[in-house]
C-alpha cells in the first residue's frame, strides 16, 4: 500500500512537497574589496600567515623524520 492511499484512509491531507531553498548570492566584488582593504590596513596578516605555514611545515617534517627514525 502506498503512502498516498494510507494517508487518505487515515484522513490526513496529502504530504506537502519540500520547498526548494535558494542560496544567497555572494557579491564577489564587494567581498574582494573588503579583503583588500583589510590587507592594506594590516599588512602583517600575510606575513603571519606565511610564518605559521612555514612553522607547521618544518614542525611536521621534523616529527615525520623522528617518527620513522630517519636520523
What is the residue extent of each domain of the chain? 28-71
Backbone angles phi, psi at 49, to 5 degrees: -60, -45
pLDDT band with cut points at 50, 70 and 90 for residue 48 = very high
34 Cα distance to chain centroid = 19
- Greater confidence (2 vs 43) lies with 43
Q: What is the pTM of this model?
A: 0.52
pLDDT band for position 46 (cuts 50, 70, 90): very high
What's the pLDDT band for 36 if we cut at 50, 70, 90?
very high
User: Are residues 11 and 5 in contact, defined by beta-carbon separation less than 8 angstroms?
Assistant: no
Amino acid at each position: 500500500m502506498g503512502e498516498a492511499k494510507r494517508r487518505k484512509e487515515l484522513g490526513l491531507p496529502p504530504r506537502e512537497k519540500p520547498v526548494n531553498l535558494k542560496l544567497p548570492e555572494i557579491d564577489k566584488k564587494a567581498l574582494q574589496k573588503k579583503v583588500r582593504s583589510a590587507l592594506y590596513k594590516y599588512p602583517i596578516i600575510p606575513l603571519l600567515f606565511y610564518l605559521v605555514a612555514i612553522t607547521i611545515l618544518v614542525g611536521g617534517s621534523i616529527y615525520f623524520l623522528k617518527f620513522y627514525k630517519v636520523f
